[in-house]
Amino acid sequence: MTENKNDKKIGVFVCHCGINIASTVDVDKLVEEFSKYSDVSHTENYKYMCSDPGQKLISAAIKKHKLNGLVIACCSPTLHENTFRRLSENSGLNAYLCEIANIREQCSWVHEDKTEGTKKAIKIVKTIVEKVRKNESLTPVEVPVTKKALVIGAGIAGMQAALDIADAGKKVILVEKSPSIGGHMAQLSETFPTLDCSQCILTPKMVDVAQNPNITLYTYSEIEDLEGCVGNFKVKIRKKARYIDEELCTGCGICVNKCPSKKALDEFNVELTTRPAIYVPFPQAVPNIPVIDKENCLFFQKDACRICEKVCGPKAIRFDQEDEFIEEEVGAIVVATGYDLLPITEMREYGYGKYKDVINGLQFERLLSASGPTEGEVRRPSDSKIPKDVVFIQCSGSRNPEYYKSYCSKICCMYASKHAMLYKHRVPDGHSYIFYIDIRSGGKGYEEFVQRAQEEENVVYLRGRPAKVYQEGDKMVVWGVDTLSGQQITIKADLVVLAQAIIPRNGVEELIKKLKIQTDEHGFLSEAHPKLRPVETNTSGIFLAGCAQAPRDIPETVAQASGSAAKALTLLSIDKIHHLPIVATVDEDLCSGCEICIGTCPYSAREIDEEKKIAIVNEVLCEGCGSCVSACPSSASQQKNFTDGQFEEMIKAILE
Amino acid sequence: MQKEISTKKIFSKLLEKFETISGENTFNCYQCGCCSAACPVASEMDLLPSQVMRYIQIGLTDEVLNGNTMWICATCYACQARCPRGIDIATVMETLRQIKLRKNEDWTVLGKIDVDELNKLPPIALISNLRKMTG
Amino acid sequence: MKKIAYYPGCTLKTTAANFEESAIESMKKFDIELEELDRWNCCGTVFSLATDDLMHHIAAIRNLIRVKEEKSNQVMTLCAMCYNTLKRSNQRVKSNQEDLDKINDFMYKEDLNYNADVDVLHLLPYLRDEITFSKIAKRVKKSLNDIKFSAFYGCTLLRPKEIQIDDPFMPTILENLITALGGETVETPYAIECCGAYQTVNQVDVVVERTKVIIDGARNQGAEAIVTSCPLCAFNLDHRQKETKKKYSKFIEMPVFYFTELLAYGLGIEFKKEWKDLHYVDPLSIFKN
C-alpha cells in the first residue's frame, strides 16, 4: 500500500465492455492493483459501465466514499467522456475531476496477449490516476450564441437546410458559388424511382428560398474567410462582381440574346452546348439576373463590343463593378457543397474523353431533359442523330482503387436504370444495354424499379465492366463481357454513357481549409461519428449535408439536410453555450510579455494586457489546442488540467 | 454434377503454394470481368481469365489446372493494365503454368513440331515459348 | 561521334538483321554510334513473373554487368522484349537488395559486383526525347509521301506501367515518328493489343486469328502498311499472313515494317535487297518514290 500523500479520494472503475476489454485485459487484476493505492478509495469492475446499472454503481460510490477524483478505464473518450462527466456532475463531483483511461482502442483492441495487455492497461490507468491527482475543478465558460445560421451551397441539400432553419424562425445566410441556386438537381430530367420531373419539384423550392424573409441569399459568392467558433463565427463573404446592377436589372434577357460572343461552354448543359458571355444559367434560375463571364466577354478581352450595355433598358450593366465583401456573424454553419463527376478525360480505357459520343450521366440527363439542348429528344452530340443503340457503363471510375476511386458512388445503379428506361420512352425502337458489376438498389421502391427496367422496358443487363470503347466509323464499339454467361461481348453503339464516379465539388479544398474541418482520403467531409453523429463535423457548430459528405441520392440528401438543420436549430435555440474550460492560463509572475504566444495562437485568443505588460488569454476564443503552452519560452503559459507538472507525473508512471 | 466444395478444399496447401509463387491474393478479385473483356486471346480459352480467378476462389483448382487458359495466355498484360483491384493476372497465369511445369508437365513439346516450321521461327519466338511453356 | 553501349539480342542478329542494320545506319546520321557490347548473352526474352524464380533473372543481370565493364551506365536496346526483360530484371534487383545480393553471389566469378545502376534504354523513346522528332523531320531525305500506316505497339513497350514508354492506352510515339517521316497514320483499336506472341510456336492458330483481326482492322481504317516496334510482332504480323491467307482466302496481305526500317528509309538510307528478303510480304511495293 502506497502512502496517501494527499487528500485525494479517487475511484477507479474498470469496464469489461462485454468481452471487448475483458478478453485481453484481466479486469480483476486491475481492480486488485489499484486497490493498493492509498488515495484510491474505491475500485471495482463491471460488464458495461456506460449502462444504467453501471452508471448507478459509480454514482453510489461517489456519494458513499465521498470521492473527489474519478478514473473510468473503458473505451475512447470520444465515445463516453461526456457520459461519465455528466454522471460525475450529477453525482455532485465536478465534471473535470473525471477522466477516461482508454484501455479499449489503445489496448485491448490492438493486442492479443492477455498478460501483456493487462500490464499495458495498468500503465494506462496509472497515468490517468496521476493526472486526476492534480486535476482542478473547472467551470465551463459561458458564451452567448449568435442566433443566425450560415449555409454554404444552395443545391437541394443547402436549400432544404436553409428553408428548415428559416421556417423555425431563425435567420439564415445562404451562400452559393454559382450564379443560380438549384445545384445539380436543377439539371436532372426525371428522378428515380417515381419518375417525377426534377424541375417541377425543385423550382418551387427555389422560389421559396428566394422569397423567404428569413433567408439572405448571396449567389455568385464565396466564403473568403472564417473566424471564431461555435455560437460565434465571423464570416467574410466575397460577392463576386456580376457586372450587373442587381437592383436595376429586370431579368428581361435582351442582353443575353444580343451578346455576340457565344463560344463559352455551357456549364448547365454540361458542355454539350455553348452560351453567350453574358448569361443566365437556365430559364428558371434564381435569381434571374445575368452574369458576365469575363473570360469570354469581348469588352473585357478586347475592349470592344459593349452591346449589352447599349441594349439594356434599365441601364443595369456595370463594367466597373468590383467584388464586394460582406461580413456576417453566425452561430452555426451547414456545409452543403455537393459533388462533381470524375472527368471523362481521365478514363484511360474509354478514350480519355476524346470521343464526342462518350458522355457522362449528367450530360445524358440534359439530353433527356425538356429544358435541355435537344428539348428532351435524345440526340447524340457528334451529329445530332437519334441513337438507336445506347450502352451504359457502370462503375466508371468507382470501385477501382487501383486507378480511380475505391468507393461505390451509390446512385449510378439507380440512375442508369432510369436513363435506360427514359431513353426507351423517348426512343421506343431503340435498344439499351447496361454493363454493371453489382446492382445496388437498396431504397424504397428501388429494387422494383430496376426489375421494371429489366422485365417491362427490355433493358438488357450485362454483368461485367467493359475493357475498351473506341470509334469505328460512326459507331462507338464497346468491348465487354458477360461474366454470367462467360462470353466476351462486342456492342456497336451509337452512344455510350459512363456512370462517372462522384467526387467532391471541384475547388472545395480551399473552403475546407478556411473552415478548418476534416475530410476523408477522398476529400469528402468527415462526420464526427459514422453512426451516432453523422451530420456533425469534428468542429463544434459546423454541420454537413448532401454529397459533400459522401455520394447519396435526393431523398437521403434531403433527410440529412433536415437533420443538419435540426442540429443547427438546437444550437440556435439556446441562449448561452458552454465553452470547454480546458484553456490556457498565464502565470503573471513568469510571463515576460514576449508575445510569442500571440503569433502562435490560431484562434486569436492571446493578447497583451497593456497595463500589466503580460500576455493574457481570451477564454471564449481559446480552443485549448496547447500551441501557446508549448511555444512559451518561460513556461508561463499552462493548460488547465494539462499542466507540465501533470505530464511529468504521467510520463514517470509510464516509465516506471 | 454437383461440385462439393469446402473451405478446406479452398484454403489448401496448393493455394498456399500458389500465393507464395505469385504473391497475389485472388480473393481481392470481385469479378468485374474487365480482364476477360480485355483479353485478346480469350476466345481460345476454356475458361475466361475472370473465371479462372473465380474457380480458384472456390477451390476448383483441378478444373483450372486441367484447362488451357494459362497456356493460351501470352502475358500481354492487357488484363493487369485494367484490373481495378490491382491484381496481376498475368502473374496468376504464370503461377498456374509454374505449378504444372514444376510437376514436369510441359506444354510445348518441340519434337511434335515440324522441323521446317521450327527453322522458320525467329529465336525470340522459340526462346520465349520455351521459357513460358516448358519447365 | 557519341557512343552508346548497345545490346542487340538474338533476333536482331539473325532473322531480323535488317532491323539492326537500319537502326545502326540511321543513328550514324545523328552522329551516334551504337557500340555493341563485346560480350553478351540471351536476356531471357521474357521476364519471369514467379516470386521465387531468381534464376531466370541472372541472364539479364549478367548483360548489365557487361555494360558496366564497358564503363557505361546505360545500354540501348532495339528489341521491345529485350528492353522489357532487361529493364524489369534491373528494377527487381534495384528494389530488392536481397535478390541483388543472391545474384551477385551466384556470379561470384564476375570481376565486378552489380549495383543496379545501369539505365536500360530503348531506341524509340530515345528518338523522341533525345534526338527529337522535329530534328528527324528536318533530316528527312525521302518522305514517306503520305503513305498511310497503322501503328502496332504490341505489349512489352507499354506494359506493365513500371516500364511503359508512352501512354499505355493511347500511345502516340510511333504515330509521331511516322508523321515526322512524312507519312500518315490511321487509328485502330488493335494497336496496343497482343499479336499472340510466342503462341506462334505451337498454337499458330491463335496468332493467325490475331493477325487477321489486326491487319483487317488496319485495312478498314485505310492503312496501307503496318509499323511495329517489336520483332516478335513484326514476325507474327508479317510471316503469319501466309497461314492467315491459307485459312481465309479473301484475306488481303499487307506489308509490315519495323520502325527502324522506315526511319532509315526516310533518312535516305538504301532499303537493301537483303532487308527485303527477310520480309514475307513485299515491303517495297508501297513506296511511291
H/E/C letters for each residue in A490-524? EEEECEEEEEECEEECCCHHHHHHHHCCCECCCCC
Say whether residue B84 is in contact with chain A using an 8 A CB cutoff: yes
Q: Residue A517 corresponds to which amino acid?
A: I
- A488 vs B42, B78, B86: nearest CB: B42
pLDDT at A3 over 60: no
Least confident segment among A6-15, B49-58, C6-15: A6-15
Q: Residue A99 corresponds to which amino acid?
A: E
Rounded to whole angstroms, the Cα distance separating C154 from C234 reads 10
* Every domain of chain B and the residues it spans: 7-133
- Contact residues, chain C, for B95 at CB < 8 Å: 49-50
Tell me how crowded residue A345 is: count the other CB atoms within 10 A of its CB.
9
Mean pLDDT of chain C: 96
Rounded to whole angstroms, the Cα distance separating C117 from C126 reads 19
Q: Specify whether the CB–CB gap between A578 and A139 falls below 8 A.
A: no
Q: How many CA atoms lie within 13 A of A162 on its CB side?
A: 33
C-alpha cell at position B40: 485478346
Q: Do B51 and A402 touch (CB under 8 A)?
A: no
- pLDDT band (50, 70, 90) for residue C111: very high
Q: At what angle do helices A114-134 and A27-34 cross, to 10 degrees?
A: 40
The bridge status of strand A291-292 relative to strand A637-639 is unpaired
- The per-residue pLDDT for A656 is 82
Mean pLDDT in residue range C63-89: 97
Q: Where are the alpha helices (DSSP H) in A99-220?
A: 114-134, 156-167, 198-211
Contacts of A546 (CB under 8 A, 6+ apart): A153, A155, A156, A157, A158, A336, A337, A338, A339, A552, A557, A560, A561
For the four alpha carbons of C95, C96, C97 and C102, in that order, the dihedral sign comes to: negative
- The per-residue pLDDT for A231 is 93
Note the pLDDT tens digit of each residue in A395-435. Answer: 999 999 999 999 999 999 999 999 999 999 999 999 999 99
Cα distance between the two ends of chain A: 17
Is omega for the bond preceding A287 within 30 degrees of 0, making it cis? yes
For A598, the enclosing helix (H) or strand (E) is: helix A596-600
- The per-residue pLDDT for A1 is 42
Question: For an interface test with C, which of B124, B126, B127, B131 has the most C Cβ atoms less than 10 Å from its Cβ?
Answer: B124
- The per-residue pLDDT for A539 is 87
Tell me how crowded residue C283 is: count the other CB atoms within 10 A of its CB.
22
Q: How many CA atoms lie within 13 A of A187 on its CB side?
A: 21
Q: Which residues of A have a CB under 8 Å from any CB of B?
A: 349, 395, 399-404, 437, 463-468, 479-483, 486, 488-489
Considering only CA atoms, which of A500, A502, A540, A544 is closest in space to residue A519? A544
Q: How many CB pairs under 8 A join A and B?
A: 71
Q: Specify whether the CB–CB gap between A159 and A206 falls below 8 A.
A: yes
Alpha-carbon distance values, C35 to A448, A632, B59, C27, C40 (Å) = 71, 67, 53, 11, 12
- pLDDT band (50, 70, 90) for residue A2: very low
- The per-residue pLDDT for A268 is 97
Q: Do A464 and B37 touch (CB under 8 A)?
A: yes
Mean pLDDT in residue range C116-125: 98
User: Minimal Cα–Cα distance from B107 to chain A, Å?
Assistant: 25
**Could you write out the DSSP letters of every residue in B65-117?**
HHSSHHHH-----TTTTT-TT---HHHHHHHHHHHHHTTT--S--GGGS-HHH
Mean pLDDT in residue range A634-638: 94
Mean pLDDT in residue range B44-66: 97
Give percent helix, percent strand, percent coil of chain A, each to the nearest 5: 30, 25, 45
- The per-residue pLDDT for A538 is 87
Mean pLDDT of chain A: 95
H/E/C letters for each residue in chain C? CEEEEEECCCHHHCCCHHHHHHHHHHHHCCCEEEEECCCCCCCCCCCCCCCCCCHHHHHHHHHHHHHHHCCCCEEEECCHHHHHHHHHHHHHHHCCHHHHHHHHHHCCCCCCCCCCCCEEEEHHHHHHHHHCHHHHHHHCCCCCCCCEEEEECCCCCCCCHHHCCCCCCCCCHHHHHHHHCCCEEECCCCCCCCCCHHHHCCCHHHHHHHHHHHHHHHHHCCCCEEEECCHHHHHHHHHCHHHHHHHCCCCCCCCEEEHHHHHHHHCCCCCCHHHHHCCCCCCHHHCCC
Rounded to whole angstroms, the Cα distance separating A246 from A287 reads 9
Rounded to whole angstroms, the Cα distance separating A96 from A89 reads 9
Query: Above pLDDT 90, what percent of chain B?
Result: 98
User: Minimal Cα–Cα distance from C193 to chain B, Å?
Assistant: 7
Q: What is the pTM of this model?
A: 0.89
Alpha-carbon distance values, A14 to A21, A27, A56, A72, A97 (Å) = 9, 7, 14, 6, 17
For B57, the enclosing helix (H) or strand (E) is: helix B49-57
The CATH topology of domain B7-133 is Fumarate Reductase Iron-sulfur Protein; Chain B, domain 2 (1.10.1060)
> Which residues face A215 on adjacent strands?
A172
Q: What φ, ψ does residue A555 adopt, rounded to 5°?
A: -60, -40
Rounded to whole angstroms, the Cα distance separating B128 from B134 reads 10
Say whether residue B82 is in contact with chain A using an 8 A CB cutoff: yes
Tell me how crowded residue A438 is: count the other CB atoms within 10 A of its CB.
14
- B20 vs C52, C56, C201: nearest CB: C52
Rounded to whole angstroms, the Cα distance separating A347 from A400 reads 12
C-alpha cell at position A305: 463590343
Rounded to whole angstroms, the Cα distance separating A237 from B70 reads 63
Rounded to whole angstroms, the Cα distance separating A468 from B37 reads 8
Rounded to whole angstroms, the Cα distance separating A247 from A283 reads 19
Q: Specify whether the CB–CB gap between A388 and A380 falls below 8 A.
A: no
Tell me how crowded residue A371 is: count the other CB atoms within 10 A of its CB.
18
- Contact residues, chain A, for C160 at CB < 8 Å: none
Considering only CA atoms, which of C156, C139, C167, C146 is closest in space to residue C195? C156
- Contact residues, chain C, for B76 at CB < 8 Å: 154-155, 159, 193-194, 197
- The per-residue pLDDT for C288 is 66
- For residue A395, how far is the Cα from the chain centroid? 23
Note the pLDDT tens digit of each residue in A208-219. Answer: 999 999 999 999
ipTM of the modeled complex:
0.96
Q: Do C169 and A470 touch (CB under 8 A)?
A: no
Mean pLDDT in residue range A487-499: 98
Residue ranges and CATH numbers for the domains of chain C are: 2-123 (1.20.1050.140), 133-286 (3.40.50.11810)
Note the pLDDT tens digit of each residue in A167-223. Answer: 999 999 999 999 999 999 999 999 999 999 999 999 999 999 999 999 999 999 999
C-alpha cell at position C96: 530488392
- Cα dihedral angle (A198, A203, A204, A205), rounded to 10 degrees? 90
- pLDDT band (50, 70, 90) for residue A4: low
C-alpha cell at position B25: 491474393
